[in-house]
Amino acid sequence: MMQSAPAKRLRPGLFAVAATVVGLSLGIGQATADDDLERRVERMERLLDSGALSDLANRQERLRREVSELVGQMETLQRDMDELRRQQRNLFEDLDDRLMELEQAGVAAQEPDVPDTPALDAELEGGPEDATPPEDDDAMEAAADDDGDAADAYSAAFDLLRDGDYRRAADGFRDVLDNHPDSDYADNARYWLAETYYVVRDFDEAMEHFQEIVDDPDSGKHADALLKAGYIHYERAEWDHARTRLEQVRDDYPDSTVANLAGSRLEQMDDQGR
């Protein structure tokens, strides 16, 4: 179909107008993109000028330090818990060893030796004329009754100790001391009373009773009380006092069980640099 002459003349003009519109659109789009980029750059500059990024970096560094400190504290707590477990294990191992010895030898092995009887010995060796007259029969009978009551109270308290009922065992040993202070069982009762406090880590109360035995060098439990006094000083981190007591046990009671225990604890202290 043939186009008219006026239509032919209009086509170049239309193309020119279209090209102009497209060009303007592209220009406007470019200008918009440039403006958007410029606004973003301005926002970044404002953030940098305001110190927000610097604050964020500082907060991150603080958090890192706090986490590091928490990790260090956790490691310290873990070491403390391990040390407490070790101390508790030492306490119970020591008590278990002593109770095992008692069970193997019998409770009688831990009771005081039979008191000396010089009057009877003299009578057997030199005859009636050299013997000291016997005590009044009533007094001897009363003493025997008291020893019997003390023996019953001591045995009951010791059974409670072996069963791990430390509070009631302490009450039982205290009953022996209160009601039978002059009996042959009083010395041992005081020692095991101290042990009932020692095993539950009431070191102040335990030391009070151990010290009473330490102050009596004639006590049959003197060496054991000295050893436990050294142990208590060790648990309190009183290293000089602990070493003094343990060395005293080792030197005063050589070739004994308590000397071996004292030596082992001294070696442990040496290994720990204490």
What is the rounded average pLDDT of the residues 52-64? 75
Q: Which two tokens stand for residue 6?
A: 């006026």
Report whether pLDDT(153) > 70.
yes
The confidence band for 13, taking pLDDT boundaries of 50, 70 and 90, is low
Helices (H), the chain: 5-50, 52-105, 118-126, 137-162, 166-179, 186-198, 203-214, 222-235, 239-252, 257-272
Burial 217-246 (b: 16+ CB within 10 A, else e): eebbbbbbbbbbbbbbbbbeeeeeebbebb
Full-model pTM = 0.52
Mean pLDDT, residues 121-143 taken together? 41
Highest mean pLDDT: which of 25-29, 105-109, 129-133, 198-202? 198-202
Is pLDDT at 123 greater than 60 in this prediction? no
- Tell me, what's the pLDDT at 62? 82
| Between 185 and 7, residue with greater pLDDT | 185
Residue 79 pLDDT: 72
Average pLDDT over residues 116-123: 34
Residue 159 has pLDDT above 70, yes or no: yes
Q: Which residue in the block uniquely carries the two structure tokens 């008219």?
A: 4
The domain limits of the chain are: 166-274
When pLDDT is averaged across residues 206-233 and rounded to a whole number, the result is 94
pLDDT of amino acid 106: 43
The CATH number of domain 166-274 is 3.50.50.60 = no
Angle of the 52-105 helix axis to the 5-50 helix axis, nearest 10: 50
Q: Which of the four pLDDT bands, split at 50, 70 and 90, describes residue 58?
A: confident
Q: Residue range 175-182: average pLDDT?
A: 93
CA distance 51 to 74: 34
Cα dihedral sign, 263-266-267-268:
positive
